[in-house]
Amino acid sequence: MFRVFPDPSSIAEYVSAILIAKIQSKPDTVLGLATGGTMEPIYARFVAQARQSKLDVSRLTSFNLDEYIGLSPDHPKSYAAYMREHLFQHLAFDAARLHLPDGLAPDLPAHCKAYATRLRASGGVDLQLLGVGGNGHIGFNEPGTAFDCPCHVVELAEQTRIDNSRFFAEGSIVPASAITMGMAEIMEAREILLVATGESKAKIVARWYQQGVTEAIPFTVLKRHPRAMVILDEAAASLLPDDARQPRMLVSG
């Protein structure tokens, strides 16, 4: 269910190897993609490894988890821009197969429905990457979101806006709302890898470990998924009780 690695770079190595193997065995893989600081070393490692192994990514399809409402794809802080910067511009993807919610969609509820429909029509996500918010959110599914909630518009929690303000220039305002893939679509992925790194995630990871499955901590829902793995570095795992950290759980390098 969870594994502890020494540091973010060994996690990047591990997750990147999983992605490469998946795409090699199924070139038309559908990936669910996440943004955030946690994913940056993972995408950097994946790009390097993909280049080295001359991986063909042209048949790959991707669906991003979320996007801020009010930001155009050209806005430097949009998740569309993040994806271009950290992943899409570096490899020969087919742009028509790369999907993100549209933060400027005129009819947001209709757009959410269409996004979920397009995702299902693609055959569904084979491998979903997730980070986790300091309050346990996945995508932008904030605490209290129903587990059967589909793709929807969300008012961001105060803590989320504070956490994410580090990505925005001082004085500029973090958008108040976003479109997010719902808990329903996330749980339909055939395989899920959630990554949490750094001390700032240690408290929520400890709560995730101690509590059952509760909508108050959205990522506890992964305990119900048959093929979900939570991948931690030592810092994020630092508040787990000792008995949780048996040697068999520990993976080095």
Query: Residue 1 and residue 216: Cα distance in Å, rounded?
Result: 20
Is residue 140 a contact point for ligand GLP (CB under 6 A)?
yes
- Judged on CB neighbours under 10 Å (0-12, 13-18, 19+), 161 is middle
| Residues 144-173 contacting ligand GLP, CB under 6 A | 160, 164
Clarify whether 135 is annotated catalytic. Answer: yes
Residue closer to ligand GLP (CB basis): 46 or 55? 46
Is residue 139 a contact point for ligand GLP (CB under 6 A)?
yes
| Nearest alpha carbon to residue 235 among 210, 200, 204, 209 | 200
Binding-site residue total for ligand GLP (CB under 6 A)?
A: 14
The 96-135 site mask, x for binding ligand GLP (CB under 6 A), equals -----------------------------------xxx--
Of the candidate residues 8, 32, 33, 66, the single one contacting ligand GLP (CB under 6 A): 66
Is residue 143 a contact point for ligand GLP (CB under 6 A)?
no
**Residues 15 and 195 sit within 8 Å (Cβ to Cβ):** yes
Residue closer to ligand GLP (CB basis): 55 or 65? 65
Which one of 64, 67, 126, 137 is the catalytic residue? Answer: 137
CB of 20 to ligand GLP, least distance (A): 21
Tokens matching residue 165: 């303000």
Residue closer to ligand GLP (CB basis): 55 or 66? 66
Residue closer to ligand GLP (CB basis): 10 or 164? 164
Query: Residue 100 and residue 98: Cα distance in Å, rounded?
Result: 7
Clarify whether 86 is annotated catalytic. Answer: no
Of the candidate residues 35, 78, 128, 145, the single one contacting ligand GLP (CB under 6 A): 35
Tokens matching residue 24: 């090699």
**Residues 144 and 216 sit within 8 Å (Cβ to Cβ):** yes
Residue closer to ligand GLP (CB basis): 170 or 243? 170
DSSP string, 41-76: HHHHHHHHHHHHTT---TT-EEEESEEETT--TTST
Is residue 64 a contact point for ligand GLP (CB under 6 A)?
no
**Residues 34 and 131 sit within 8 Å (Cβ to Cβ):** yes
Please give, one letter per residue, the 3-state secondary structure of 151-173: CEEEECCHHHHHHHHHHCCCCCC
The residues assigned a catalytic role are 66, 135, 137, 142
Residues that bind ligand GLP (CB under 6 A): 34-38, 65-66, 131-133, 139-140, 160, 164
